[in-house]
Structure 1
Amino acid sequence: MSSTHIPLFPLSTVLLPGGYLPLRIFEQRYIDMVSECTGSGTCFGVCLINNPESSGQAATHLRVGTTAEIYDFSTLEDGLLGIAARGRQRFIIQKTTMRDNGLLMADIEILAEPAPVDLPEEFSVLAMIVGRFMEQLGNNYPGFKPDDLQDAGWVGYRLTELLPLENNEKQMLLQLEEPLERLQLLLDVLPRFQEPETT
């Protein structure tokens, strides 16, 4: 594991390695963060807000997240700053501090990814579903190659990202270490999203 110090952007979404993250930025602290990251070529960290709807309590965030690299930015029609970022590496937060402008900073440890694993035949239906997603959303994944559909880790991350799962489910799948365990859990929940047969 390697340790680093990055700005933190808690969100009500789970970012996966290789994932696509479009954002509209309007708070000054995050405008400053984008300027800093693009100027230095560094990443920021995305982690899931733990209690966004808790009344009277400050929102907290989970410790495991994903670093995000900004690869495009522009001024949107409404005048706000729009960015497109790509998920890179999973991390765990060791310590947080807050800058005077309210921006959270975190000491993190990068979590090592398991060695690549070929997709076993019993999960081929999952690769087929991801392939269909890529036909529709391929512009958001310019680095996509058909060979990616044979990578168990990549298929698991994309399906976790693109299926309409609850955020707590996506977070659990993000934190799993074993790609095949992630695929098995995704296969188990797949019937939830299949239309019932009509007679």
Structure 2
Amino acid sequence: MEIPIFPLGTVLFPGGRLPLRIFEPRYAEMTKACIRDNQVFGVSLIRAGYEAGTPAVPSEIGCTARIIEWEEPSSGLFNLNAQGETLFRLKSRRTQADGLIVGEIELIEPPDPIGMPERYEKLQQLLTDLVKEIGPEHFTRPPRFNDAAWVGSRLAELLPVPPERKQKLLEENDPLWMLAEVENMLRDLREDPPEK
């Protein structure tokens, strides 16, 4: 399966929302094709390079994204809301003449659904409070507070930690391991809050 790859400085998890402002011609063309054909594109954390300009080097593990809302305020400029769907492994990639990266990917099977273990009740409550505070419209609906993968992914997205740490969570693809790591990260943040 070949899809366009969008290397970004952010990590997209399955079920996550990703607002994007598209202005580079290569991504404007990609956007038009994805809207026209109802196709996904791949979001992959940048390993080397930058979001704009010369094509960046994407991470091997990424997440497919589907455009769920879009507007074109002016020709070639798009405001998008995309949603993460499925993890993938990038098998090979090539760069088109316009600078768009096209990757041959292999979809990664999602883990079996797991309910929220009792020991992570505080994480479940934390996410419930955050969704209320931020606004449920910024999350996939309906919310799945009893789904370990959904809760772990949403908390991982919201944590103020470097994208490389979020990428590690994405690559493990294990909901219970993710919840344990999120708990550790929250403990670290409480002990050593990020500088304002």
TM-score by length of 1: 0.88
Picking from 20, 23, 26, the partner of 2:20 is 23
Aligned equivalent of 1:179: 175
Per-residue CA deviations over 1:89-141 (Å, capped at 9, x if unaligned) read: 00000011122211110110000011101111111111111111211231122
Aligned equivalent of 1:137: 135
How far apart, CA to CA, are the structure 2 residues paired with 1:142 and 1:66?
A: 16
SS at match of 2:6: strand
How far apart, CA to CA, are the structure 2 residues paired with 1:59 and 1:37?
A: 21
Q: Is the 8 A contact 2:17 2:82 kept in 1?
A: yes
Is 2:39 aligned against 1:39?
no
Aligned equivalent of 1:154: 150
SS at match of 2:49: coil
Per-residue CA deviations over 1:29-73 (Å, capped at 9, x if unaligned) read: 1000000000000100000001237xxx97322100000000111
Number of aligned residue pairs: 188
Is 2:98 aligned against 1:80?
no
Picking from 119, 124, 127, the partner of 2:121 is 124
One-letter amino acid matched to 1:138: P
Aligned equivalent of 1:194: 190
One-letter amino acid matched to 2:135: L
One-letter amino acid matched to 1:37: C
Aligned equivalent of 1:7: 4
How far apart, CA to CA, are the structure 2 residues paired with 1:47 and 1:120?
A: 30
Aligned equivalent of 1:169: 165
Q: What 5-or-longer segments of structure 2 have no aligned partner?
A: none
Is 2:48 aligned against 1:51?
yes
Give the alignment's Cα RMSD to 1 decimal: 2.1
Q: What 5-or-longer segments of structure 1 have no aligned partner?
A: none
Q: Aligned runs of 1:107-118 on 2, under 5 Å? A: 107-118=104-115
One-letter amino acid matched to 2:142: F
TM-score by length of 2: 0.89
Alpha-carbon offset, residue 142 of structure 1 = 4.7
Per-residue CA deviations over 1:127-166 (Å, capped at 9, x if unaligned) read: 1111112112311225133xx1111111111111111121
Aligned equivalent of 2:101: 104
SS at match of 1:183: helix
